[in-house]
């Protein structure tokens, strides 16, 4: 099993270029399968989940051509099958986007039951409710699920839970449905807007993405022949901002959309971190004692659950007591046990963690329990005394492009051991 070996104590100084957003890329690459004809997608992050997805797209008949490290041509007009029960899809959550992307084209889509990080039960009842409302049939087997429909009829769908995945999935399915679909209580994350912007560029008629009410008027076909660039990854950006604060560093985070970082900036400023920003960068400087703060994770524009573990690591350095309330996933505080191996003082009760600032942590051998928990362990290792080994780093590679290369360029001491 690969692991990262980190020697703590170095300040991060310099500048880091943020890659394309993982959670936008997985939606947009799926949406590209709706398009009849070639489209060029730029700023694609070079991460494991994207590589798996592109490989599966080719297996079902799409033509995928790599233009350069960050850009691909995808031509989905040759897709002839919705049979995608491939083993490599078992571990990724976004496999379910194939349902919304392919159903109108292939009339029947079959995928493994969706996987994903073990941060909670991760049900798909809202996806199923929406597809059935649109007139599709859903069959859930022990290992796979099948969606079938001769055609989809637009309708009003009230989402009982604010869910990013179901919002994107049903938005894609509605694009080629007959008539108008309205998604009520929709999620508002920036990556939902990015998927909608991509689809509209290809000829879809989607209004209201980014609000809690999205109206999709079905069209006959999406034509290709255009280029779209994926938004920067707000979670990768936030991870580096927290790492800069944790190491008492001075880092420019470049190629970002600053307003996507507002919830995190507000919290870092409360903790006495100095934040300055211009149109596509944020500078993080921490040269004072960290004050405590509290975080409650909420759907966008609330504090993102995907930055919660990283904040947990930073809070170990505050000069007081911090509280984290995780309201999105029921099992996303498990990383605190790994921090305790590094001498953190954390009490967890249900979905609340109380973190007592201890001023420093001690290096240890810890595990990446999921993608963002792994990022939290790296941050802890960056400021811990001595050496930290982070195991199971295949989780981290799913969502971060060359994280150790970017960190070493900022002055960290981290190496990958195979």
The contact set with ligand EPZ (CB under 6 A) reads: 22-23, 26, 93-94, 117, 120-127, 161, 163-166, 187, 305-306, 328-329, 371-372, 399
Annotated active-site residue in 39, 104, 108, 117? 117
Separation CA 154–CA 214 (nearest Å): 12
Ramachandran assignment for 35, one of left (phi > 0), alpha (psi -120 to 50 degrees), beta (any other): beta
Shortest separation between residue 114's beta carbon and ligand EPZ, angstroms: 8
Nearer to ligand EPZ, 194 or 250 (CB): 194
Separation CA 405–CA 58 (nearest Å): 30
Nearer to ligand EPZ, 97 or 252 (CB): 97
Shortest separation between residue 286's beta carbon and ligand EPZ, angstroms: 24
Shortest separation between residue 371's beta carbon and ligand EPZ, angstroms: 5
Shortest separation between residue 26's beta carbon and ligand EPZ, angstroms: 5
Rg of the chain over CA atoms, in angstroms? 21
Among 304, 309, 286, 311, smallest CA distance to 366 is for 309
Nearer to ligand EPZ, 357 or 399 (CB): 399
Nearer to ligand EPZ, 3 or 94 (CB): 94
Shortest separation between residue 42's beta carbon and ligand EPZ, angstroms: 20
Side-by-side strand order, sheet with 206-207: 156-158, 180-184, 213-217, 206-207
Shortest separation between residue 56's beta carbon and ligand EPZ, angstroms: 14
Question: 301 preceded by cis ω (within 30°)?
Answer: yes
Burial status of residue 418 (CB atoms within 10 A of its CB: 0-12, 13-18, 19 or more): exposed
Strands (E), 134-195: 137-140, 144-148, 156-158, 180-184
Measured in degrees and rounded to the nearest 5, phi and psi for residue 93 equal: -70, -35
Of all helices (H) and strands (E), which one includes residue 372?
helix 371-383
Nearer to ligand EPZ, 76 or 91 (CB): 91
Of all helices (H) and strands (E), which one includes residue 41?
strand 38-42
Catalytic site includes residue 322:
no
Helical ranges in 96-233 per DSSP H: 97-106, 125-133, 164-175, 190-201
Tokens representing 169 are 């999935």
Nearer to ligand EPZ, 324 or 364 (CB): 324
Residue bearing tokens 């807007």:
193
User: Any idea which residues carry the catalytic annotation?
Assistant: 117
């Amino acid at each position: 099993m690969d692991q990262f070996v980190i020697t703590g104590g170095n300040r991060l100084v310099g500048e880091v270029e943020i890659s394309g957003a993982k959670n936008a890329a997985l939606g947009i690459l799926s949406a590209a399968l709706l398009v009849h004809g070639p489209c060029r997608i730029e700023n694609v992050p070079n991460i494991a989940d994207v590589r798996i997805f592109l490989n599966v797209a080719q297996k079902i008949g799409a033509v995928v051509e790599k233009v350069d490290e960050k850009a691909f041509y995808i031509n989905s007009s040759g897709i002839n099958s919705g049979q995608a029960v491939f083993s490599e899809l078992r571990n990724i959550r976004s496999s379910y986007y194939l349902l919304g992307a392919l159903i109108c084209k292939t009339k029947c889509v079959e995928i493994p039951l969706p996987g994903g990080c073990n941060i909670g039960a991760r049900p798909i009842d809202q996806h199923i409710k929406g597809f059935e409302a649109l007139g599709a049939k859903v069959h859930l087997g022990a290992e796979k699920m099948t969606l079938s429909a001769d055609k989809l009829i637009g309708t009003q769908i009230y989402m009982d839970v604010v869910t990013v995945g179901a919002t994107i999935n049903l938005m894609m399915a509605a694009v080629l449905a007959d008539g108008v679909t309205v998604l009520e209580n929709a999620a508002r994350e920036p990556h939902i807007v990015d998927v909608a912007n991509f689809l509209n560029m290809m000829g879809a008629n989607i209004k209201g993405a980014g609000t809690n009410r999205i109206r999709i008027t079905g069209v006959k076909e999406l034509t290709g022949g255009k280029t779209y660039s994926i938004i920067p990854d707000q979670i990768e950006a936030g991870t580096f901002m927290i790492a800069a604060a944790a190491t008492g560093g001075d880092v420019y985070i470049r190629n970002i959309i600053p307003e996507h970082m507002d919830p995190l900036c507000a919290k870092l400023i409360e903790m006495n971190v100095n934040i300055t920003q211009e149109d596509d960068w944020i500078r993080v400087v921490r040269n004072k004692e960290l004050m405590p703060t509290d975080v409650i994770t909420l759907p966008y524009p609330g504090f993102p659950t995907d930055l919660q573990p990283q904040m947990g690591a930073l809070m170990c350095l505050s000069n007081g007591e911090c509280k984290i309330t995780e309201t999105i996933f029921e099992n996303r505080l498990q990383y605190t046990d790994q921090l305790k191996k590094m001498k953190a003082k954390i009490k967890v009760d249900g979905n609340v963690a109380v973190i007592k600032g201890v001023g420093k942590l001690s290096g240890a051998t810890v595990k990446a329990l999921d993608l963002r928990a792994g990022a939290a362990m790296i941050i802890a290792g960056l400021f811990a005394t001595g050496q930290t080994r982070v195991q199971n780093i295949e989780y981290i590679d799913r969502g971060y492009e060359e994280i150790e290369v970017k960190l070493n360029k900022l002055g960290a001491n981290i190496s990958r051991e195979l």
